Amino acid sequence: MEKNKDDGSNKEQEEEQVVNPWVVSVKDGGKIDYDKLIDKFGCQRLDQSLIDRVERLTGRSPHVFLRRGVFFAHRDFGEILDSYERGDKFYLYTGRGPSSESLHLGHLIPFLFTKYLQDAFKVPLVIQLTDDEKCMWKNLSVEESQRLARENAKDIIACGFDISRTFIFSDFDYVGGDFYKNMVRVAKCVTYNKAVGIFGFTGEDHIGKVSFPPIQAVPSFPSSFPHLFSGNDRLRCLIPCAIDQDPYFRMTRDVAPRIGYHKPALIESSFFPALQGETGKMNASVPCSAIYVTDSAKQIKDKINKYAFSGGQDSIELHRKHGANLEVDIPIKYLGFFLEDDTELEHIRKEYGAGRMLTGEVKKRLIEVLTDIVERHKRARAAVTDEMVDAFMAVRPLPNMFS
């Protein structure tokens, strides 16, 4: 059975930090302890040998998110690479719960990395828009959830995915047929007590929430997409996602061999922190905690200057003497995500940590980097038409998906 220390057994640890698909919080405003999370969830840390294999097998430099440990944990990623090296194919699966009009930078991270994987390995991708989930959890109407799904699809398409290898679907539109059959197979294998242990459901939760996990599970199985993978039920699946989604796929991996499928493999990221500090992840419901892909250059500048938590000292004199605390400094952490140049990043870290560079200088560089990313994304999104969304979401074969 899939290792899982999170089935309601360690109450004290749960109180210290809560990480699940709906809540990410740490007691007394502390930082997420990712080592504890790896131990609690039972996944593995992504080591340098796997990153080196990716470079060797694809002939591409590892993505910045791999080089800097943004994607830091995995389940069976080595087996995916073993299979690929033998000449076997796999497919990618990721998703988005459309709860807001536009995405923030934290939402972009799995999509930017998934695009890298698609391009590097030349494999197909399915992207699930869980409009049904957000309808149930966020008290949105069905119609509003569907509208947000299409709006979010435009942002996803703007990341540059290859339409000849990509199928985007919303649950409200696609669930049925073979997909639904797999949902029933999964549901029959998971007891209510098991679901409560994994997801923390209570007697106050409506039954829609309890019924949802199989919907997110079954895109892991190729037979859920007969228009893409007919007759290829043993095709492996790799899921890039943030680590708060791990509970869904611990459940999925436990069930998969019992219904005749490979366990999906995962490669999991840390959270993109809020501007105010590393007490959790950037939150779409708290606008001042997030940089949105719709923000203007002025809004980005104002948010960074006003809200981005600094590890610099209280005065220039003290800063020159002691330097910045890089462990808590949000501008440095954001540059670690989005500044491509390793040499420049190391230079900034060294100078800022020694006090030779001031907080204002670091924030200025961050504003430049994020403004460029957001402006490029805006231009790409403006080019995405409703017809393009329809094309990506059309149920169709992808004859060249492994070419």
**Tens digit of pLDDT for each residue in 244-277?**
999 999 999 999 999 999 999 999 999 999 999 8
Same domain, 93 and 194: yes
120 with 253, same domain? yes
Domain CATH for 165:
3.40.50.620
Provide the token pair at 41: 């969830």
Work out the average pLDDT over 81-86: 97
CB 164 within 8 A of CB 131: no
Q: Check residue 113 and give left, alpha or beta (phi > 0: left; psi -120 to 50: alpha).
A: alpha
Above 60 in pLDDT, residue 11?
A: no
Same domain, 217 and 182: yes
Residue 301: CB partners within 8 Å, gap ≥ 6?
A: 367, 371
Residue 333 lies in a domain: yes
- As a whole number of angstroms, the distance between CA 44 and CA 65 comes to 17
Residues spanned by the domain of 313: 297-383
Confidence label for 6 from pLDDT (cuts 50, 70 and 90): very low
Same domain, 50 and 190: yes
Q: Pick from 255, 272, 289: which residue ends a domain? A: 272
Question: Which residue's entry shows tokens 């219904």?
Answer: 259
Residue 373: CATH number of its domain: 1.10.240.10
Of 187, 193, 242, which is closest to residue 215 (Cα–Cα)?
A: 187
| Co-location of 184 and 301 in the same domain | no
C-alpha to C-alpha distance for 192 and 203, rounded to whole angstroms: 12
User: What is the pTM for the complete model shown?
Assistant: 0.94
Confidence band, pLDDT 50/70/90 cuts, at residue 12: very low
Average pLDDT for 355-380: 98
Q: Are residues 310 and 378 in the same domain?
A: yes
Nearest to 248 by CA among 208, 212, 217, 206: 217
Tell me the mean pLDDT in the region 370-390.
Answer: 98
- Is residue 231 very low, low, confident or very high in pLDDT (cuts 50, 70, 90)? very high
Q: What confidence tens digit (pLDDT) does each residue in 143-164 have?
A: 999 999 999 999 999 999 999 9
Percent of the chain with pLDDT over 70: 94
Clarify whether residues 325 and 217 are in a common domain: no
Residue 151 phi, psi dihedral angles, 5° rounding: -65, -45
**Are 176 and 104 within 8 A, CB to CB?**
no
Same domain, 210 and 341: no
Q: How many domains does the chain have?
A: 2
Q: Are residues 136 and 183 in the same domain?
A: yes
Q: Does residue 401 sit within a domain?
A: no
Task: Tell whether the model's pLDDT for residue 13 goes beyond 50.
Answer: no
Please report which confidence band the pLDDT of residue 142 belongs to, taking 50, 70 and 90 as the band edges.
very high
Q: What is the pLDDT of residue 279?
A: 66
Q: Is residue 16 part of a domain?
A: no
Residue 400 lies in a domain: no
What span, in angstroms and rounded, lies between the C-alpha atoms of 142 and 140? Answer: 7
Residue 9 has what pLDDT?
42
| Shared domain check, 258 and 307 | no
Neighbouring residues of 64: CB distance < 8 A, sequence distance ≥ 6 = 70, 337, 338, 340
Over range 319-348, report the average pLDDT: 96
Token output for 42: 């039972």
CB-count burial class (<10 Å; 0-12, 13-18, 19+) for 86:
exposed
**pLDDT score for 286:** 64
pLDDT range class, residue 285, cuts 50, 70, 90: low
- Would residue 21 count as lying in a domain? no
Asked if residue 100 is part of any domain, the answer here is yes
The predicted pLDDT at position 23 comes to: 87
Q: Is the pLDDT of residue 1 over 70?
A: no
Q: Is 215 inside a domain boundary?
A: yes
Determine the Cα–Cα distance for residues 236 and 240; give it in Å rounded to an integer.
Answer: 13
Q: pLDDT at residue 77 above 90? A: yes
Q: What is the chain's mean pLDDT, rounded?
A: 93
Residue 10: its pLDDT value, please?
Answer: 46
- Looking at the fold, whether 80 and 227 belong to one and the same domain comes out as yes
Query: Within a domain: residue 339?
Result: yes
DSSP per residue, 206-261? -HHHHH-HHHHHGGGSGGG-HHHHTT-TT-EEEEEEEGGGHHHHHHHHHHGGGGT-
What pLDDT sits at residue 280?
59
Same domain, 302 and 195: no
Calculate mean pLDDT across residues 386-400: 97
At 166 the three-state DSSP class reads: strand
Predicted pLDDT of residue 16: 82
Structure tokens at 364: 């200025």
